[in-house]
Amino acid sequence: MSRNRAASRASLQCFTGLCLALSLTASTATAQSQVITADDERLDAVNRLTRWAAGGWRLGYVGSLPGVTTSGVARLWMPEMPAAMRLGRVVAATGARRGTGQGASQTVEADQVVSNTSLSGYMDFHFNNREHEDPVIDFHRFVLLFTHSFSDRVRFVSELELEHSLVGPEDEGELELEQAYIDFLLTRELNFRAGMLLVPMGIINERHEPPVFHGVERPFVDDVIVPSTWFDAGAGVHGEIGQGLRYRTYVMAPLDASGFTAEEGIRDGRQKGAEANVRNIATTGRVEYVGLPGFWAGASFWRGKTGFAFPRIESQATVGEVDARYRVGELEARAQYAHVWLDGMGELNRALRLATQPGANIARQIRGFYLEASYFVLPNPAPREAAVFVRYENFDTQYRMPAGFQRLQQFDRDAWVFGFSYYPDPDVVLKLDYSVVRNQSDVIDEPSSLNVGLGWWF
């Protein structure tokens, strides 16, 4: 036991040391940052191409964009500039002052500098009280994002996450590298990306910082059907065509069918870039339209063979998803539908029952959807904004079964989630919700829960 605890402490110390070292690197780079002239537009500090990187996340944010208010950043209908993705911020040089005459240009130039390296991140802290269980407090996530711009056209983005605060043989914590990629920015329409990538699937998977969604926990559909956070090694292209039509398409490591389960579908099939088997690569992509004020719609897919752990079984997974968000006044609505088709699950179930899972009962189709409405009851300029919301979810990991296998009714579930989000600052959110969860089983109950959360980003 003491040996395991020592391993946990050593892992946490290593993580802390790594974060400290990278923070010092960021500080050094900032001190050596490049001076730009006052005549340059601030959004051009790195390059206008970066507006289209990462599906709309921008570099060179200075806190005030044309037509965008600070409160708009805090509110959830402004995904154009999440605060956690403020990479390469424009900062004021110490002691610089604007003047007049010949010396004015020198002080103005000193007044604006661009950092090539930056540190950002997000955290969330939860209290969960589930029926028939003891309540728990969990520091769920501690995430740091390190970014560096090598030039106007080459940049690096990374995300290092510690879950549940401890990592060790007897702890449930995880230390994960969720993103670590290089962007090669060529044109607004075509850019290249390679490394550890987030699968471009749904509303939450790519943009999952606490202030951008309601509810303490992420939606059930984005946990059970779309296995957020879903990431793996890969490469591909991204860009924007016309006004507001964005795309991302990658080749990535496939899912591992030996991790599929009846309860959580494909979730445990993620390889997470850890010596991932790429005998057969997967393809994924997303298109989204953001050309109308207050409206955002997208569609995603993922497809790849999954049976490399069982070479004699031809298994394949296909995921399709559509989503939309719309904001008018203080009212916002969200909707998402995801469907998974799994080929070869009959043979896979029989193989798993003989090998590692005597009760294997994986479906050949799983699906889920949710509808959400929220309203800002305190629509004051940030800080001190508050919203109420309600979300209905339906998610079934036994939707269609292979021949010879019966559905497990306890995994056909739905949920009503009611809650409140309060923003004392645009980058800080206090959340409270009550989740009423039910299933179709007459024997096994699904517990409801009261949840309180505190989330922030910087």
Instruction: Indicate the domain borders of the chain.
Output: 186-457
Whether the Cβ atoms of residue 327 and residue 336 lie closer than 8 Å to each other? no
Query: Residue 354's pLDDT is what?
Result: 87
Query: Residue 383's pLDDT is what?
Result: 66
Tens digit of pLDDT for each residue in 398-434? 999 999 999 999 999 999 999 999 999 989 999 999 9
Residue 146 CB: number of other CB atoms within 10 A? 23
Mean local confidence (pLDDT), 267-272: 96
41 pLDDT above the threshold of 60: no
Of 74-83, 163-172, 281-290, 390-399, the one with minimum mean pLDDT is 74-83
pLDDT band at 379 (very low <50, low <70, confident <90, very high): confident
Q: What stretches of 295-341 show up as alpha helix (H) in DSSP?
A: none
Fold of 186-457: Porin (2.40.160)
Q: What stretches of 51-112 show up as alpha helix (H) in DSSP?
A: 70-74, 104-111
Mean pLDDT of the chain: 80
DSSP letter (8 states) at residue 261: B
204: Cα separation from own chain's centroid: 5
Tens digit of pLDDT for each residue in 328-362? 999 999 999 999 999 999 999 999 998 888 889 99
* Pairwise CA distance, residues 117 & 155, whole Å: 10
Q: Greater confidence, 224 or 12?
A: 224
Q: Which of 49, 83, 54 lies closest to 68 in space, CA to CA?
A: 83
Any idea what the Cα angle at residue 202 is, between residues 143 and 448, rounded to 5°? Answer: 75
- Helix (H/G/I), strand (E/B), else coil: 43: helix
Whether the Cβ atoms of residue 118 and residue 159 lie closer than 8 Å to each other? no
pLDDT band at 171 (very low <50, low <70, confident <90, very high): confident
Output the furthest CA–CA distance in the chain (Å, rounded).
Answer: 86
* Pairwise CA distance, residues 131 & 281, whole Å: 42
C-alpha to C-alpha distances, 6 to 13, 144, 169, 228, 281, nearest whole angstrom = 10, 24, 10, 30, 39
- The order of strands in the sheet holding 90-91 is 34-35, 113-114, 90-91
